[in-house]
A and B are shown apart, each in its own frame.
Chain A
Amino acid sequence: MNKEHLSEPRAVRWILTAIALGFVGLFLLVPLAAVFVEAFSKGLEAYAAAVTEADALSALRLTLLAAAIAVPANVVFGVAAGWAIGKFQFRGRQLLMTLIDLPFAVSPVISGLVFILLFGRQGWLGPWVLDHGIQVVFAVPGIVLATIFVSFPFVAREIIPIMEATGTEEEQAARVLGAGGLQMFVRVTLPNIKWGLMYGVILATARAMGEFGAVSVVSGHIRGVTNTLPLHVEILYNEYNAQAAFAVASLLACLALVTLVLKALVERRVRHAGAEAGRQAVEVMAWESKSGV
């Protein structure tokens, strides 16, 4: 790029850089900064009051609970799917991968709607669960289900390509040398997939804690009971309590920043790992992130 004829004239470079940075600044940096400015617009005390208020704390608890169920469940599924799809050839493999991606293709609102259709009063399973005294829709189980749904593909789609790229030779060698199934997985497979797994967990956690549309549809907005942090932000904002809304929103913005930093660190870690698996994982991630996660 330092060869002059291989790059654009200096003036063009300057203008293009200015346009790109201006666009990023206007659409990404200004909104991010505004969250914090608005959050502290009435001073530290008002900020502290907003984030330690009882409803905010119960929303935080529910958000953490939903993520604490959804992410591990999706990790177990993602590793299983990675093993089955990445290490074996079978008919319908491509179809299975497309089906796993479905939650990304569906509008968040529809992701919530389907659980109402399934567990609502007139739904397929609605009468049955109500007979057993379980409230799913407009209650915590519905929120957890919607959260699992929207964060469903993240881990699987990181793991599948890595499992595929690392091949089966190492695992076969371990088997031939007498390793049991579990021992082979822990000693051979897990080290190969760990960064990809971590990457998937970071993305799934961010989505699980930040989901709004799907959770909003199934929650019923019962304050202090079925409110997650993003829903609490909405309620405060609609009550014209903008400062409190932004204070709670700033917690979520911090979460987003932590996500970005962890994501960059894991990406770099994978880039620096000299191992073949690492290099392949980088390619996989580049490919993954371009397909939009």
Chain B
Amino acid sequence: MSRSVSRRVLPGFGLTMGLTVFYLSLIVLIPLATLPAKTLTMSWEAFRATITDPRVVASYRLSVTASLVAASVNAVFGFAVAWVLVRYSFPGRRIVDALIDLPFALPTAVAGIVLTTLYAPNGWLGEPLARLGIKVAFTPLGITVALIFIGLPFVVRTLQPVIEDLDPEVEEAAASLGAGRAAVLLRIVVPNLLPAWVTGFALAFARAVGEYGSVVFISGNMPMRTEISPLLIVTKLEQYDYTGATAIASVMLVLSFGLLLCINGLQSWSRRRVAY
């Protein structure tokens, strides 16, 4: 549809466009602009001193490491879940499928307190694990568990439609040419799912880096050990250190935007390579 025809015949472009830009600016762009603006009022030395403070650096390292581990675990198990949901049939499949979105729908604070209770040394899961000498709650492992919870749907929901779109004829052709099932999976299925797989991983990772509600309860919040970056921002805010909070936030914002760009790139890659 050429622009001229559309503009001439359909009404309301000016009105809806104006409303969109106005509302977007009011709710998102102007508030977000305060962050770089506030950062620019800091001297370079002050900014550098804040973001290279050992406690801050430890929080970045923890946030990124725990998010990477959680996203990797989700990439492996999320693949199994997506594959099983699309390719196999078993009783209760529809319910399991609906349940996958629970981490999107369940408020993060609820996830936070329930995971803490489950994995605490006297909890349903924490007690048997503690007897094996594994401490989960109030350790980096606990943080990872919470990040696995919130990241799972990203991997599953990214892979599912792509697995559904795989054309069985190609697998059939490969099989009829003598390829074993393992070869078909490794040579045909996995390469075709790769863009979506990486996208799901990146989405889960991006979400995990900024996550707050589900982590803050289970982490125990010990400086240098189990303190994630978003929590450090909140701590600075509670001490009315707005510039300190802003400096940490601006580093996180740059990381998030970088990830957003990567994800956009990955998504167009995966759309270009839709199934076989």
Contacts and interface: CB of A to CB of B under 8 A. Distances in A.
Given A113-B245, A114-B32, A114-B34, A217 B237 contact: yes
B213 interface: yes
B12 A109 contact: no
A16 interface: yes
A19 B64 CA distance: 27
Interface string B215-235: 001000000000000110110
B190 interface: no
23 contacts: A31-B118, A32-B106, A35-B110, A87-B10, A96-B20, A108-B108, A109-B230, A109-B234, A110-B249, A113-B237, A113-B249, A116-B237, A123-B34, A124-B37, A149-B27, A175-B11, A184-B11, A212-B107, A213-B212, A230-B107, A234-B113, A253-B110, A293-B104
A10 to B, nearest CB: 11
Nearest to B33: A114
Contacts of B61: none
Nearest to B165: A286
Interface of A: 1, 3, 5-9, 13, 16-17, 19-21, 23-24, 27-32, 34-35, 38, 73, 76-77, 79-81, 83-85, 87-90, 96, 98-103, 105-110, 113-118, 120, 122-124, 145, 148-149, 152, 167-168, 171-172, 175-176, 181, 184-185, 203, 206, 209-213, 216-217, 229-231, 233-234, 237, 242, 245-246, 249, 252-253, 255-257, 259-261, 263-264, 286-287, 289-293
Contacts of A118: 30-31, 34
Given A108-B210, A259-B105, A289 B157 contact: yes
Contacts, number: 323
Greatest chain B CB density within 10 A among A109, A172, A175 is at A109
A5 B169 CA distance: 12
Nearest to B252: A107
Contacts of A152: 27-28
Interface in B159-218: 159-162, 164, 168, 171-172, 175, 181, 185, 196, 199-200, 203, 206-207, 209-213, 217
A264 B249 CA distance: 36
> How would you classify the secondary structure of chain B's contact residues: helix, strand, loop or mixed?
helix
Contacts of B49: none
Interface of B: 1-3, 5-7, 9-13, 15-17, 19-21, 23-24, 27-32, 34-35, 37-38, 77, 80-81, 83-85, 87-90, 94, 96-115, 117-118, 124-125, 148-149, 152-154, 157-162, 164, 168, 171-172, 175, 181, 185, 196, 199-200, 203, 206-207, 209-213, 217, 230-231, 233-234, 237, 242, 245-246, 249, 252-253, 256-257, 259-260, 263-264, 267
A1 B252 CA distance: 45
Contacts of A87: 6, 10, 13
Contacts of A171: 9-10
A107 B23 contact: no
Nearest to A153: B28
Given A110-B35, A118-B31, A291-B267, A1 B87 contact: yes
A106 B117 CA distance: 28
Given A252-B110, A287-B161, A292-B203, A24 B96 contact: yes
Given A109-B234, A260-B101, A117 B35 contact: yes
